[in-house]
Amino acid sequence: MEALQAAVELKADRVEVCTCLEQGGLSPSLGFIQTSLDFGLSTHVLVRPRSGGFVYSSDEIQLILREVELLNSLDVDGIVVGLLKPNMRLEREVIQEIRSNFRKEVTLHRAFDDLVEWHEEMEFLKEIGVNRILTSGLATSVSKGIPTLMEMVAHAKGSIEIMAGGGINLANVAEIVQKVQPDAVHFSATTKESLDPSSFFSEERLVFDSHKAKKLVDLCRNFT
């Protein structure tokens, strides 16, 4: 909730609504999605039914398609999704079905970073009309993926957005923006914190940091 409120105040271009950031993000609740829409935010919803990799069973694929159908009815601004085959290539038929059926924007998330080869897969995403790719440049973090990110931006030629994400922080955002010149920058602006330490159910989780978010937004927007 704090992140949504800050996104309004900071005039964020869009938000990716999800839960369980500690696990890389999972599909959020309907109430959380509707709250983002009520705030007037450009609301893009992560469709990810479980943690781990992105090779899904047939039942999980059906669940993903069902979620996409429901998000169509909510009229959200976009969805964020990714599916892979066991050979670590895109699950093209399913992704094409999602793109054909979903009315608004589609972002292919960091499943892209698990690919064994990205050039042909990017061409496929361009051809079917996927709007953007969220990627760290096939690396564990954007800092390590800068050379590949630069190549991706050049290969995209503006026909699909490249959104740099995965470890964006105050120490590296200027370098990412300067060297990569991505179409967008994706970050969570979180800090690790122990939640309810006096409870038996205490958890260490990622908590939104509004000061960090403001600095990141300012660095992106004021960069020359």
pLDDT digits (tens, 9 = 90+) for 90-133: 999 999 999 999 999 999 999 999 999 999 999 999 999 999 99
d(CA 190, CA 106) in angstroms, rounded, equals 25
d(CA 183, CA 107) in angstroms, rounded, equals 13
Joined tokens for residue 215 = 């600095």
Q: What is the pLDDT of residues 54-80, one digit of tens each?
A: 999 999 999 999 999 999 999 899 999
Burial state string for 124-159 with b = 16 or more CB within 10 A and e = fewer than 16: bbeeeebbbbbbbbbbeebbebbebbbbbbeebeee
C-alpha dihedral sign at 157, 149, 14, 132: positive
Backbone angles phi, psi at 179, to 5 degrees: -80, -45
CA 71, chain centre distance (Å): 16
Residue (of 68, 67, 66, 48) closest to 56 by Cα position = 48
Q: Are 143 and 149 in contact (CB under 8 A)?
A: no
CB neighbours of residue 221 within 10 Å:
11
Q: What is the pLDDT of residues 133-142, one digit of tens each?
A: 999 999 999 9
CA 170, chain centre distance (Å): 19
Q: Are 189 and 156 in contact (CB under 8 A)?
A: no
Whether 34 has a pLDDT exceeding 70, the answer reads: yes
d(CA 91, CA 124) in angstroms, rounded, equals 11
Across the chain, mean pLDDT equals 95
Q: Are 210 and 6 in contact (CB under 8 A)?
A: yes
pLDDT score, position 139: 96
Instruction: Place 224 in a pLDDT band, splitting at 50, 70 and 90.
Output: low
Whether 183 has a pLDDT exceeding 90, the answer reads: yes
CA 46, chain centre distance (Å): 7
d(CA 32, CA 11) in angstroms, rounded, equals 19
- Is residue 27 left, alpha or beta, with left meaning phi > 0 and alpha meaning psi from -120 to 50? beta
Domain spanning 2-221: which CATH class is it, in words?
Answer: alpha beta
Whether 210 has a pLDDT exceeding 80, the answer reads: yes
pLDDT score, position 207: 87
pLDDT score, position 178: 94
Q: Are 176 and 138 in contact (CB under 8 A)?
A: no
Residues 18/19/22/23 CA torsion (nearest 10 deg): -80
In the chain, DSSP finds a helix count (H) and a strand count (E) of 8, 9
Domain ranges of the chain: 2-221
Reported pTM? 0.94
